[in-house]
Homo-oligomer: A and B are copies of this chain.
Amino acid sequence: MIIVNFKTYLEATGQKAVELAKKIERVSLETKVMIGVAPQFTDIIAITKAVSIPVFAQHIDPIQHGSHTGQVLAEAIKETGATGTLINHSERQLRISDIDATIKIASEKDLVSIVCANNSDISVATATLKPDIIAIEPPELIGTGIPVSKAKPEVIINTIKLVRKINKNVIILCGAGITRGEDVSAALRIGAQGVLVASGIVKAKDQNMVIREFAEATKAGRVSFES
Protein backbone atom coordinates (compact mmCIF):
# COMPACT_ATOMS: atom_id res chain seq x y z
CA MET A 1 0.00 0.00 0.00
CA ILE A 2 1.31 3.38 -1.07
CA ILE A 3 -0.25 6.75 -0.23
CA VAL A 4 0.92 9.80 -2.20
CA ASN A 5 0.52 13.10 -0.31
CA PHE A 6 0.15 15.95 -2.84
CA LYS A 7 0.75 18.60 -0.11
CA THR A 8 0.41 22.09 -1.60
CA TYR A 9 2.93 21.42 -4.35
CA LEU A 10 2.21 23.31 -7.58
CA GLU A 11 3.12 20.11 -9.45
CA ALA A 12 0.05 18.55 -7.83
CA THR A 13 -2.46 21.43 -7.88
CA GLY A 14 -5.57 21.75 -10.02
CA GLN A 15 -5.35 20.14 -13.46
CA LYS A 16 -1.89 18.78 -12.64
CA ALA A 17 -3.33 17.02 -9.59
CA VAL A 18 -5.86 15.23 -11.80
CA GLU A 19 -3.17 14.23 -14.29
CA LEU A 20 -0.89 12.88 -11.57
CA ALA A 21 -3.78 10.89 -10.09
CA LYS A 22 -4.39 9.36 -13.53
CA LYS A 23 -0.72 8.33 -13.89
CA ILE A 24 -0.90 6.73 -10.46
CA GLU A 25 -4.13 4.92 -11.29
CA ARG A 26 -2.59 3.47 -14.46
CA VAL A 27 0.36 1.98 -12.54
CA SER A 28 -1.95 0.75 -9.80
CA LEU A 29 -4.13 -1.09 -12.30
CA GLU A 30 -1.16 -2.60 -14.14
CA THR A 31 0.75 -3.73 -11.07
CA LYS A 32 -2.28 -4.50 -8.88
CA VAL A 33 -0.64 -2.55 -6.06
CA MET A 34 -3.00 -0.34 -4.05
CA ILE A 35 -1.95 3.28 -4.39
CA GLY A 36 -3.98 6.11 -2.89
CA VAL A 37 -3.63 9.88 -3.26
CA ALA A 38 -4.13 12.77 -0.82
CA PRO A 39 -4.75 15.94 -2.87
CA GLN A 40 -5.71 19.42 -1.70
CA PHE A 41 -9.35 19.93 -0.62
CA THR A 42 -10.26 21.87 -3.74
CA ASP A 43 -9.02 19.10 -6.03
CA ILE A 44 -10.65 16.11 -4.36
CA ILE A 45 -13.89 16.05 -6.30
CA ALA A 46 -12.25 16.33 -9.73
CA ILE A 47 -9.98 13.42 -8.80
CA THR A 48 -12.68 11.15 -7.41
CA LYS A 49 -14.54 11.71 -10.69
CA ALA A 50 -11.47 11.02 -12.84
CA VAL A 51 -10.03 7.92 -11.14
CA SER A 52 -11.14 4.93 -9.11
CA ILE A 53 -8.15 4.65 -6.75
CA PRO A 54 -8.62 5.65 -3.10
CA VAL A 55 -8.57 9.41 -2.45
CA PHE A 56 -7.85 10.91 0.96
CA ALA A 57 -8.30 14.42 2.36
CA GLN A 58 -5.16 15.90 3.91
CA HIS A 59 -7.07 16.95 7.05
CA ILE A 60 -10.56 17.22 8.48
CA ASP A 61 -11.66 19.36 11.41
CA PRO A 62 -13.18 17.87 14.58
CA ILE A 63 -16.50 19.62 14.00
CA GLN A 64 -20.12 18.79 13.36
CA HIS A 65 -21.98 20.59 10.56
CA GLY A 66 -22.99 24.15 11.43
CA SER A 67 -21.27 27.51 11.88
CA HIS A 68 -17.64 26.68 11.14
CA THR A 69 -16.56 28.98 8.32
CA GLY A 70 -13.28 27.98 6.72
CA GLN A 71 -13.17 24.52 8.30
CA VAL A 72 -13.30 21.08 6.74
CA LEU A 73 -16.42 19.02 7.43
CA ALA A 74 -16.27 15.19 7.38
CA GLU A 75 -19.62 15.00 5.56
CA ALA A 76 -18.31 17.28 2.82
CA ILE A 77 -15.28 15.02 2.32
CA LYS A 78 -17.50 11.94 2.33
CA GLU A 79 -19.82 13.42 -0.27
CA THR A 80 -16.92 13.95 -2.70
CA GLY A 81 -16.50 10.19 -2.80
CA ALA A 82 -13.22 10.25 -0.86
CA THR A 83 -12.15 7.14 1.02
CA GLY A 84 -10.65 8.73 4.12
CA THR A 85 -8.39 11.40 5.52
CA LEU A 86 -4.93 12.09 6.90
CA ILE A 87 -5.01 13.32 10.51
CA ASN A 88 -2.28 15.13 12.47
CA HIS A 89 0.29 15.38 9.66
CA SER A 90 3.44 17.00 11.03
CA GLU A 91 2.57 20.08 8.94
CA ARG A 92 -0.95 20.23 10.43
CA GLN A 93 -0.66 18.99 13.99
CA LEU A 94 -3.61 18.67 16.30
CA ARG A 95 -4.34 18.70 20.00
CA ILE A 96 -4.75 15.21 21.39
CA SER A 97 -8.45 15.78 22.11
CA ASP A 98 -8.93 16.81 18.48
CA ILE A 99 -7.13 13.71 17.17
CA ASP A 100 -9.43 11.58 19.32
CA ALA A 101 -12.54 13.47 18.15
CA THR A 102 -11.46 13.40 14.50
CA ILE A 103 -10.84 9.63 14.50
CA LYS A 104 -14.33 9.14 15.97
CA ILE A 105 -15.96 11.48 13.44
CA ALA A 106 -14.14 9.77 10.56
CA SER A 107 -15.33 6.39 11.81
CA GLU A 108 -18.93 7.61 12.10
CA LYS A 109 -18.87 8.93 8.55
CA ASP A 110 -17.23 5.75 7.29
CA LEU A 111 -13.97 7.48 6.36
CA VAL A 112 -10.65 5.66 6.76
CA SER A 113 -8.44 7.47 9.31
CA ILE A 114 -4.67 7.73 8.75
CA VAL A 115 -3.03 9.31 11.78
CA CYS A 116 0.52 10.58 11.37
CA ALA A 117 2.95 10.23 14.27
CA ASN A 118 6.37 11.84 14.65
CA ASN A 119 8.13 9.33 16.83
CA SER A 120 7.82 6.01 18.60
CA ASP A 121 6.05 7.29 21.72
CA ILE A 122 3.46 9.23 19.74
CA SER A 123 2.89 6.22 17.47
CA VAL A 124 2.04 4.08 20.47
CA ALA A 125 -0.15 6.79 22.01
CA THR A 126 -2.13 7.31 18.80
CA ALA A 127 -2.43 3.54 18.28
CA THR A 128 -4.50 3.40 21.48
CA LEU A 129 -7.00 5.80 19.86
CA LYS A 130 -7.79 3.09 17.27
CA PRO A 131 -7.26 4.79 13.93
CA ASP A 132 -7.41 2.53 10.85
CA ILE A 133 -3.86 3.36 9.79
CA ILE A 134 -0.79 4.91 11.43
CA ALA A 135 1.93 6.63 9.41
CA ILE A 136 5.24 7.00 11.23
CA GLU A 137 7.13 10.02 9.90
CA PRO A 138 10.10 11.51 11.77
CA PRO A 139 9.81 15.19 10.77
CA GLU A 140 13.58 15.62 10.78
CA LEU A 141 13.73 13.31 7.73
CA ILE A 142 10.81 14.75 5.73
CA GLY A 143 12.01 16.02 2.38
CA THR A 144 15.63 15.02 3.02
CA GLY A 145 15.86 12.02 0.72
CA ILE A 146 17.17 10.00 3.69
CA PRO A 147 14.55 7.28 4.13
CA VAL A 148 13.37 6.51 7.64
CA SER A 149 13.74 2.82 6.82
CA LYS A 150 17.47 3.33 6.36
CA ALA A 151 18.30 6.14 8.76
CA LYS A 152 16.62 4.54 11.74
CA PRO A 153 15.60 0.97 10.91
CA GLU A 154 15.81 -0.18 14.53
CA VAL A 155 13.55 2.71 15.60
CA ILE A 156 10.86 1.62 13.15
CA ILE A 157 11.28 -2.05 14.01
CA ASN A 158 10.91 -1.29 17.70
CA THR A 159 8.00 1.12 17.15
CA ILE A 160 6.12 -1.49 15.14
CA LYS A 161 6.65 -4.02 17.94
CA LEU A 162 5.31 -1.60 20.57
CA VAL A 163 2.35 -0.54 18.43
CA ARG A 164 1.42 -4.18 17.80
CA LYS A 165 1.34 -4.91 21.54
CA ILE A 166 -1.33 -2.21 21.90
CA ASN A 167 -3.28 -2.60 18.69
CA LYS A 168 -3.31 -5.78 16.62
CA ASN A 169 -5.29 -4.41 13.68
CA VAL A 170 -3.90 -1.00 12.82
CA ILE A 171 -2.11 -0.82 9.47
CA ILE A 172 1.36 0.68 9.82
CA LEU A 173 2.92 2.86 7.13
CA CYS A 174 6.25 4.56 7.31
CA GLY A 175 7.20 7.78 5.61
CA ALA A 176 9.74 10.57 5.24
CA GLY A 177 12.68 10.60 2.85
CA ILE A 178 11.47 7.82 0.54
CA THR A 179 12.67 8.50 -3.00
CA ARG A 180 13.62 5.13 -4.51
CA GLY A 181 12.21 1.66 -4.93
CA GLU A 182 14.81 0.25 -2.59
CA ASP A 183 13.59 2.59 0.17
CA VAL A 184 10.13 1.05 -0.23
CA SER A 185 11.63 -2.45 -0.11
CA ALA A 186 13.56 -1.55 3.03
CA ALA A 187 10.40 -0.21 4.69
CA LEU A 188 8.50 -3.39 3.93
CA ARG A 189 11.37 -5.59 5.05
CA ILE A 190 11.42 -4.03 8.51
CA GLY A 191 7.72 -4.61 8.98
CA ALA A 192 5.83 -1.61 7.59
CA GLN A 193 2.78 -2.53 5.53
CA GLY A 194 3.24 0.38 3.15
CA VAL A 195 4.63 3.87 2.69
CA LEU A 196 3.44 7.46 2.78
CA VAL A 197 5.36 9.52 0.20
CA ALA A 198 5.18 13.06 -1.15
CA SER A 199 8.06 14.86 -2.88
CA GLY A 200 9.64 11.51 -3.84
CA ILE A 201 6.88 11.09 -6.42
CA VAL A 202 5.35 14.55 -6.88
CA LYS A 203 8.68 16.29 -7.49
CA ALA A 204 10.30 13.43 -9.45
CA LYS A 205 11.60 14.36 -12.92
CA ASP A 206 9.96 11.26 -14.31
CA GLN A 207 6.89 10.69 -12.13
CA ASN A 208 5.78 7.63 -14.12
CA MET A 209 9.08 5.87 -13.61
CA VAL A 210 9.20 6.49 -9.87
CA ILE A 211 5.58 5.46 -9.32
CA ARG A 212 6.28 2.24 -11.20
CA GLU A 213 9.50 1.64 -9.22
CA PHE A 214 7.62 2.07 -5.96
CA ALA A 215 4.81 -0.22 -7.08
CA GLU A 216 7.20 -2.93 -8.28
CA ALA A 217 9.10 -2.78 -4.99
CA THR A 218 5.82 -3.12 -3.10
CA LYS A 219 4.82 -6.09 -5.24
CA ALA A 220 8.19 -7.78 -4.79
CA GLY A 221 7.99 -7.20 -1.04
CA ARG A 222 4.56 -8.79 -0.94
CA VAL A 223 5.71 -11.82 -2.92
CA SER A 224 8.73 -12.35 -0.70
CA PHE A 225 6.48 -12.25 2.41
CA GLU A 226 4.12 -14.81 0.98
CA SER A 227 6.86 -17.23 0.03
Distance of A70 Cα from B80 Cα, bound (Å): 16
Distance of A114 Cα from B40 Cα, bound (Å): 22
Residue interface mask A86-101, B partner, CB < 8 A = 1: 1011111111110110
Distance of A124 Cα from B166 Cα, bound (Å): 11
Q: How many residues of A contact B (CB 8 A)?
A: 61
A59 at the A/B interface (Cβ < 8 Å)?
yes
Q: Do B7 and A76 touch across chains, with their CB atoms under 8 A apart?
A: no
A72 at the A/B interface (Cβ < 8 Å)?
yes
Q: Which residues of B contact A166 (CB under 8 A)?
A: 128, 166
A44 at the A/B interface (Cβ < 8 Å)?
yes
Q: Which residues of B contact A46 (CB under 8 A)?
A: 45
Interface-located stretch among A60-68, A148-156, A187-195: A60-68
Q: Do A66 and B9 touch across chains, with their CB atoms under 8 A apart?
A: yes
Tell me the nearest residue of chain B to A13, going by C-beta: B76
Query: Which 7 A-B pairs give the minimum distances between C-beta atoms?
Result: A59-B70, A70-B92, A14-B79, A41-B41, A69-B89, A8-B73, A69-B91
